[in-house]
Structure 1
Amino acid sequence: MITDSEARFVVGIDLGTTNSAVAYIDMRQEDSVAAVFPVPQLVAPGTVEARDSLPSFHYEPAKGEFENEEHPIVGVLARDHGAAVPGRLAVSAKSWLSHGGVDRKAELLPWHGADDVKKLSPCEASRRYLEHIRRAWDHARPDAPLAEQDVVLTVPASFDEVARELTVEAARNAGLPKLCLLEEPQAAFYAWMREHREADGMQAGQSILVCDIGGGTTDLTLIETEEGKHGELAYRRIAVGEHLLLGGDNLDLALAHHAEQKLGGGKLAPAVWSVLVRRCQQAKEILLGTDAPESYSIQLPARGRSVVGGSRGVELERAEALRLLVEGFLPQVAANEKPSVRQSGFQEFGLPYAPDAAITRYLTAFLAEHGDVRPDHILFNGGFFESAVLRERLLEVLEKALDWKPQVLRADRLDLAVACGAAEYGRVRRGQGTRITGGLARTYYLGIGVDHGEPSAVCLLPAGLEEGETVQLQKRTFKLRIRKPVEFPLYTSGTRTTDQPGDLLPIDEATMRPMPSIKTVINTGKKKKADTVAVQLHARLTEIGTIEVWLAEKDGNREWRLQFDARAATQTERAVEEDTANRAGVMDESMAASSAGVIKSVLGPGRTADPNGLLSQLEANTGLERSAWPPALLRRWFEEVLPLADCRKASPALEARWLNLLGYALRPGYGFAADDWRVANAWRIKQDAVANHRNEMCRAEWWILWRRMAGGLTEHQQLELANPLIKQWSSRILKPAGQKPAKLSNFQFGDHESAEVWRLLGSLERLPASKKTMLGELLLTWLERKGASISNGAAVWALGRIGARVPNHGPLNTVVPADTAENWAGRLMKLHGKKKEVAFALMHLARHTGDRYRDVSDDTRTDIVTWLNEHGASGRLTTLVRSGGLLDAEEQDQAFGEALPPGLHLAG
């Protein structure tokens, strides 16, 4: 029985990609089982019903769309009504929560939604689902508020630490302070354990594969049986798979592509396509279900006056659906076959789906990576396996590939198993029942610098660490810089399960996967000068399932916590680039010291050298051409130059050199450890403006400085730069006849300065899409005036960057709409002069991505390819427009506006 201090209920919440569910156990009742909590929700306008699950869909009604319903809607009505109005429907928030290519806290859902919709971040959408659940529970049980119960919230086993932290944040913001996290495959197994305490034939030494495929993810987990202390059967989780955005949503997309081809007429408009995807989801469930019909008809709303009868339809045969979905996603594979690493999966809705659609290839590769395991038992979970056809096919593949057929563990209600298992785990945490051991699924490493040679990684947390355990790295002491930023690259491995805490290892890119970094800035005492302190590391896996890392002063009592970096867009992907940059050339300390002396001789208080030859002097001092200066050296120079700002007041030449070197040393504003700290310090000079504001050279260098570090500026900082400039250009370009434009003290519209201002504006990729659209229209209006297209290549370059399909560094949620890019491309092709710049801009406006919501139409693409061929553009540009791809080094430099430091790359 529970004590007075314990919560009455343990509650499991499955926060799913497609559906969420809630189950609970009343701990005041002896041996009670998990019961499903039916969630009340709108199922039709004005009609509330309680359902076993809450569809994870969020719909914002238009004004007057529903009588008495002006607030956002979640659940059945949101899903069903939103299928016909996709521009107001936010979906797949959980998938976005794990997407490292966007700012996960940015308001980006619905993806390319209607203009009047208030967009949500993935974190906020998750919060609203959880808040709806909390309110529903509190209404049903006012005497036992959900906030006071023990809540177990499930996450994919493969979620990275940022996604886990954001899930916890969403729950706490929804009013759920008492919670812990549990991996979904384990939750499914807890549900099975409760219903089947002993499986026929199961014995110690056997393995169980939990294959959990939901709407958004494929989650694989291996559990091993062993003999417990008292002879009972015990369970240990021994491995989890990598994060795969591959699930039922992909089947819907595949079926929609097939239906689109059957319809004829080329690609559907994004709005119609979204409707088709939702209709195909229904078709999939029917055609793969029991007693399926031989065919299923899909009707689409009309678009245009030529459609007879107001709609158009397509008939899907069951046989063709089976061929497409079964053979496409569960093909026969060999035991040693590896998944493709080239992007062949879908890029719809902006999500980075797994590159290989073959789930079976990922499955056999997972088993091979962990000792060629042949699982004795298999437990299916997730909506994907509601279809007996798919369950039987996966078993058939395993039998042929491994010459082995596991015994299937029976599970009822796959859609509710995770919630019920989470509640059961809550009971186990109270000491009732068998706990799955295994702890941490992966080994974690911190990247560290060494005195000589390549950077290495120290094993921080070993696989198998249990919740609540702490690891002390007492045998290793580290030098920590204080009053300066420290940023540690973080790595993880699902296969290196024998490395021990404190092991110093070379970074193995084949087995160690980079993750978002962890960082801190230690400001202590009144001193401002950088210093070092000897520290030791310790880390723990918390009771709620997140990781904490601490630095403890070796000969003192000070201690600092390192924070996971959940900063803005593409941070996870940048981890690889940061590591490359950190290793791009070993900096000789004597070189750094002597070149710092050169800088001080030109810009310092006792300056004696000519400022105009500063970069040449640094080339002579280092013995390296400026293109070969490594990022580590450049960042040291930045920290030398920034404190010498007083030289700006001495002369225009000194200010121009100071601004030039400061920006050159920090470009592109990200990619090297602690660059966000450097950008934040550089931003402080923004309030000072240009000291020699009457000098055009100084003003131009001012704009160049911000353009060079634009990739590290926040959205707010970019808006602060852009807004006054856009106002000035608007006043000049759109002014009524005879009216003089207002003047800005540090922008005088000279040709050279104007070119640099346009380049800056084109580099501000975090500006909202609406602001970019306004800016692009302004720029085109100016270009279309007589003579403008002939003289200003920088403005053409800026237009390409503003309307680019693939950002250099910004998040995907700020890309301008495809029809806007089409309009700009058409107008640009009518201009004369600057053909090289126009060709490069057209490539950016039409570069193929595979994402229907970003790509221009096939007709526009054809027109642009024709223009490029007629005007002698390189075949490389044509290829990028036709089929996409990554920019090569020269193209990256051109896209950035100048050469990048070695080892640093643009995200696109």
Structure 2
Amino acid sequence: MSDVDSEPELPRYVVGIDLGTTNCAMCFVDTAADDWQVETFGVPQWIDVGQWERRDTLPSFHYEWTAEETAGDAQRLPWQTDQPPASCVGVLARDAGARHPGRRAASAKSWLSHDGVDRTADLLPWHGDADVQRLSPVDASAAYLRHLRHAWDHQHPEHPLADQDVIITLPASFDEVARELTVRAAKQAGLPRVFLIEEPQAAFYAWIDRQGSEWQQRVTPGQLILVCDIGGGTTDLTLIRVRAAADGQVQFHRVAVGKHLILGGDNLDLAIAKLAETKWQADHPGESLSPAQWERLVQASRMVKETMLSDPRPPAYTINLPAEGSRLIGGAVQISLSAEDVDAALLDGFFPEVPLDVRPSAGSSGFQEFGLPYAADPAVTRHLAAFLSDHRHSGIGDDADAADRPDLVLFNGGVMAAPAIGRRIVESLSCWFAKPEEADDASGAAWQPEVLVNERLDLAVARGAAYYGMVRRGDGVRIAANLGRSYYMQVGDAPPMGLCLIPGSAEAGQRFSASSHPLELQIGSPVQFPLWVSSTRLADDVGDLVPMQDGEATALPPICTALVRGRQREQATVRVVVESELSEIGTVGLYCVASDTGKRWKLEFDIRSTLETDRDAHLGSGEAAGILDTETMAACEQTVATVFAPDQQPQEQSLKPSRLMKTLQSVIELPKTDWPPSLLRGLWQTLLDVEPGRRQSPQHEARWLNTLGYCLRPGYGVAVDDWRVSQTWRAVHNKLAFPTPASRIESAILWRRIAGGMTHAQQQQLALPLLAGLKGKSGRVEANEAIESWRLLGSLERLDTPTKVELGRLALRQLGQKKHEKLHESLLWAVGRLGSRQPVYGPLNTTVPRDEVAAWVKRLTGLAAGPATLPLALVQLSRRTGDRFRDLPESEREGVAAWLSAAGVGEHYITLVREGGTLRDDEESAVFGESLPLGIRLAR
């Protein structure tokens, strides 16, 4: 056979990697072996300073060495021949982090799925020490994968991991952004070609592998298998149906996947820590644990959980925490928890006995300790009941023998290593589905599902991933796993109507085209498609139009693009259809395809819209405030043109810039504070279209800048606002036509108004020259300009923490200087925003440390009198959030409450400091600096 006809040689090894919240594991198959089997790769890692060993698992912790720990050349693993690294991962990272929690990053996988933060931002360790380099969740995940790659390559130099078939596991409920970011982490770690498999499937593959040739005797057609996967950070629920195949064998079909729940072993640890703290406070009224003691208590609680949920177990467990500061003698903390205490907190709290028709409670989680959006309802059994109620009939079809209850249960995840939890879940299933006639006549015991056993829960997912790698090569038993989720693009409102793009029956490698519904799109303009997903509407076909009803579909990050053809900005429309595909690695691809030329534009998930600024933008929260009729909109465009495009208008219709806003209010017949966001964004586009007209005079530019910022404020809240902000930045930044004080002031107001839609890099570019000017390093700044500069700086919530601290300290120094008396209002407003405990839009990882803010509060409450903005600043600095890492100590908050009471401010300010809560509309306007557009709110 010629070389042309020969097939490419397959890699020798198939490798499965469990990229876990708490532990990673790597298993492999050597396909050159005569009788292949899945083997475990022992991962070399530090277990103590100067001592490394091979372990079956790699704890998912990243630790930055202290200066003492990096002394000498000891901290090198076998493959590290260059300068000793500044950090490590694995056992030592986990254990050393318990002693120095501010140097350890953990739960990266949970952060990777957190749609309330920028998952690519450097935010770990959460509340880390000031000298520790921050990592993004992607960076931390890449660090674990990189360690595994180096370890493998050192042992297999002729077969590097990047050249093998690598399968990485992830939760079945990961959203598309988290899947894409997992692939990005792998590429960052030097693994450019990977495949993805969902963890519950991998766990089931591990069970099949363990059964050998006997697996068919354990299952029969019609059975329903529940895979209950509760790991360190997430809970995943999956249903698999057993069906008869044409050859007399059986097949496995995955028919349902549960919703993504950040609920797992981390939550159990927090619950024990809360219980322990409550018991300790009962004996120490008025005292509280410091954040550092709390973190150590959480670490100790993991051992309490593992010990007290095992068989056998002691009657009680005593936690010992070291003393801190000046109380090194006699200041140690001892807390004893009984077995009954632990059962009440964990079994009754997370696995209570509930009826089958129960639904999880909505709202926000009581756990606010580490910034993660833990499931609002901690009861796993309530989530399980809702999942089975929704899906136990999925995939039955015409099969009269198909079960509507789980006959078999496979447990997976570290939490399920506790026998007591497994028993509680089995008891719940028996209570829900047992029939009176099924009781055992001899024992009287009710029906229970059979529990399938994987010997090593910590290795099962990695073993199953490696087995799946062989299935992909045609060797082994395949689970017929269709997508299990249907995807829709919203094409109508009231109620939202969804166009099915990818059906739930889709399998990897398939492509679909919604050709029955072509679209006309404007070239050069942003295109935004609200995207929905449903795990219950699995019978819809591509092109079907169906209502997106509550409980049946969930909104995803929107997909968006700006269509550009060639280098010129064509003023034309193009007729397109939306095509979609489910890739071999398990990610979703969506494309706009021109009907005439076949040109394709990829539609990217709008990751920016999943940040805390605008998590529901694609649901139309801003647009819901009202849509203006086209005639009025046309009249507004004409009015704007009379100011900024006079050459296109009759001479008698020209309008002075100072008259623009009053004239627009007359045309619209509404005060400007009542203009809906849809109108504002339409005016923004009109202003950008006439942008050259601002160069007529300084007055034209000042009015153009002022109106542009007003129409785009707060820079988020309406679909594709991030695109509008980027266009504004391109048109204005460092491009003033008349760099007069008026234009500089108006540009500062513009940036302040839309700061919420700006990136960290853009905010840094604005802040650094302003900071230099306010320090007096670039000439004297006039008072009016300094006022707006400080208000702009205060609004830049994406600045890094050291910059915020520097700005806050500078503002407080100027606050005490008589020459800056005119700036006091803006200085206090800026200090309140810079040190706010609950940012307006910014990520929580850049909040100023509470000890620093406590010093600011002490300075401000020491003022004999102050401007009207002083109480508001104190409320922002002291507002209770429920997160001990952000909140000031209770005694200091009480001091602020007393100051506010003496100052005679409203009771709501005092409530916000003592108890927390939601800002009223007038308070929101004061914090933002002016009124917000209708339908857009600040962070809660």
Distance 1:339 1:678 in 2: 39
Q: 5 Å matches for 1:295-444?
A: 295-308=316-329, 311-371=332-392, 373-403=404-434, 405-444=448-487
Query: Is this contact kept in 2: 1:10–1:149, CA < 8 A?
Result: yes
| Alignment-derived partner of residue 219 in structure 1 | 236
Query: Is this contact kept in 2: 1:102–1:813, CA < 8 A?
Result: no
Distance 1:693 1:3 in 2: 67
Verify: 1:553 aligned to 2:584, yes or no. Answer: no
Cα drift, residue 831 of structure 1 = 2.2
The percentage of counterpart residues that share the same residue type is: 46
Cα drift, residue 699 of structure 1 = 3.0
Find the residue that maps to 2:691 and give its secondary structure. helix
| Alignment-derived partner of residue 440 in structure 2 | none
| Alignment-derived partner of residue 469 in structure 1 | 510
Letter in 2 for 1:405: Q
Verify: 1:140 aligned to 2:176, yes or no. Answer: no
| Alignment-derived partner of residue 182 in structure 1 | 197
Q: 5 Å matches for 1:19-418?
A: 19-67=23-71, 68=73, 69=75, 70-71=84-85, 72-196=87-211, 197-198=214-215, 202-264=219-281, 265=284, 266-308=287-329, 311-371=332-392, 373-403=404-434, 405-418=448-461
| Alignment-derived partner of residue 544 in structure 1 | 585
Worse-superposed segment, 887-896 or 592-601: 887-896
Cα drift, residue 29 of structure 1 = 2.7
Distance 2:821 2:219 in 1: 76
Verify: 1:819 aligned to 2:860, yes or no. Answer: no
Letter in 2 for 1:136: A
Find the residue that maps to 2:374 and give its secondary structure. coil
Distance 1:9 1:117 in 2: 38
Verify: 1:857 aligned to 2:893, yes or no. Answer: no
Distance 2:306 2:290 in 1: 24
1:333 to 1:395, Cα distance in 2 relative to 1, 3 A:
same
| Alignment-derived partner of residue 611 in structure 1 | 657
Cα drift, residue 3 of structure 1 = 7.3
Verify: 1:668 aligned to 2:685, yes or no. Answer: no
Worse-superposed segment, 464-473 or 623-632: 623-632
Query: Is this contact kept in 2: 1:578–1:671, CA < 8 A?
Result: no
Find the residue that maps to 1:720 and give its secondary structure. helix
Worse-superposed segment, 180-189 or 553-562: 553-562
Cα drift, residue 134 of structure 1 = 0.8
Worse-superposed segment, 534-543 or 106-115: 106-115
1:642 to 1:454, Cα distance in 2 relative to 1, 3 A:
farther
Verify: 1:879 aligned to 2:911, yes or no. Answer: yes
Query: Is this contact kept in 1: 2:318–2:337, CA < 8 A?
Result: yes
Which of residues 889, 902, 906 in structure 1 aligns to 2:921?
889
Worse-superposed segment, 389-398 or 159-168: 389-398
Cα drift, residue 832 of structure 1 = 4.3
Which of residues 548, 554, 557 in structure 2 aligns to 1:516?
557
Letter in 2 for 1:524: R
Cα drift, residue 364 of structure 1 = 0.7
1:175 to 1:397, Cα distance in 2 relative to 1, 3 A:
same
| Alignment-derived partner of residue 735 in structure 1 | none
Distance 2:109 2:834 in 1: 29
Letter in 1 for 2:305: K
Find the residue that maps to 2:537 and give its secondary structure. coil
Q: 5 Å matches for 1:494-509?
A: 494-509=535-550
Cα drift, residue 610 of structure 1 = 2.4
Distance 1:542 1:902 in 2: 41
Cα drift, residue 493 of structure 1 = 1.6
Find the residue that maps to 1:533 and give its secondary structure. strand
| Alignment-derived partner of residue 401 in structure 2 | none
Letter in 1 for 2:223: Q
TM-score (norm: length of structure 1): 0.94
Distance 1:573 1:426 in 2: 39
Cα drift, residue 539 of structure 1 = 0.3
- Equivalent residue pairs, number: 891
Query: Is this contact kept in 2: 1:349–1:852, CA < 8 A?
Result: no
Which ranges of structure 2 fall in alignment gaps of 5 or more residues? 1-5, 76-83, 394-403, 435-446
| Alignment-derived partner of residue 736 in structure 1 | none
1:209 to 1:889, Cα distance in 2 relative to 1, 3 A:
farther
1:321 to 1:687, Cα distance in 2 relative to 1, 3 A:
closer
Query: Is this contact kept in 2: 1:100–1:572, CA < 8 A?
Result: no
Deviations 1:827-857 (A, max 9, x none): 2222244564222222221222222211211
Cα drift, residue 348 of structure 1 = 1.2
1:455 to 1:753, Cα distance in 2 relative to 1, 3 A:
farther
Find the residue that maps to 1:297 and give its secondary structure. strand
| Alignment-derived partner of residue 738 in structure 1 | none
1:797 to 1:572, Cα distance in 2 relative to 1, 3 A:
closer
Distance 2:497 2:862 in 1: 55
Cα drift, residue 788 of structure 1 = 6.1
1:255 to 1:388, Cα distance in 2 relative to 1, 3 A:
same
Letter in 1 for 2:366: G
Distance 2:196 2:55 in 1: 24
Verify: 1:478 aligned to 2:495, yes or no. Answer: no
| Alignment-derived partner of residue 743 in structure 1 | 779
Distance 2:866 2:391 in 1: 57
Which of residues 833, 844, 850 in structure 2 aligns to 1:801?
833
Worse-superposed segment, 61-70 or 598-607: 61-70
Verify: 1:870 aligned to 2:902, yes or no. Answer: yes
Worse-superposed segment, 587-596 or 216-225: 587-596
Distance 1:238 1:90 in 2: 36
Worse-superposed segment, 824-833 or 709-718: 824-833
Find the residue that maps to 1:885 and give its secondary structure. coil
Distance 1:584 1:200 in 2: 61
Distance 1:860 1:835 in 2: 22
Aligned-residue Cα RMSD (Å) equals: 2.2
Distance 1:309 1:454 in 2: 64
Letter in 2 for 1:532: T
Worse-superposed segment, 828-837 or 654-663: 828-837
Which ranges of structure 1 fall in alignment gaps of 5 or more residues? 732-740
Distance 1:415 1:538 in 2: 40
Deviations 1:694-737 (A, max 9, x none): 44x43322211001111111111101111111122223xxxxxx
Distance 1:577 1:707 in 2: 24
Worse-superposed segment, 604-613 or 782-791: 782-791
1:217 to 1:543, Cα distance in 2 relative to 1, 3 A:
same
Query: Is this contact kept in 2: 1:490–1:517, CA < 8 A?
Result: yes
Verify: 1:753 aligned to 2:785, yes or no. Answer: yes
1:494 to 1:789, Cα distance in 2 relative to 1, 3 A:
farther
Cα drift, residue 337 of structure 1 = 1.4
Distance 1:872 1:377 in 2: 65
| Alignment-derived partner of residue 78 in structure 2 | none
Distance 2:542 2:17 in 1: 34
Find the residue that maps to 2:340 and give its secondary structure. helix
Worse-superposed segment, 373-382 or 236-245: 373-382
| Alignment-derived partner of residue 844 in structure 1 | 876
Distance 2:623 2:14 in 1: 47
1:694 to 1:475, Cα distance in 2 relative to 1, 3 A:
closer
Distance 1:577 1:789 in 2: 44
Query: Is this contact kept in 2: 1:138–1:146, CA < 8 A?
Result: yes
Letter in 2 for 1:743: G
Deviations 1:151-174 (A, max 9, x none): 110000111111110100111111
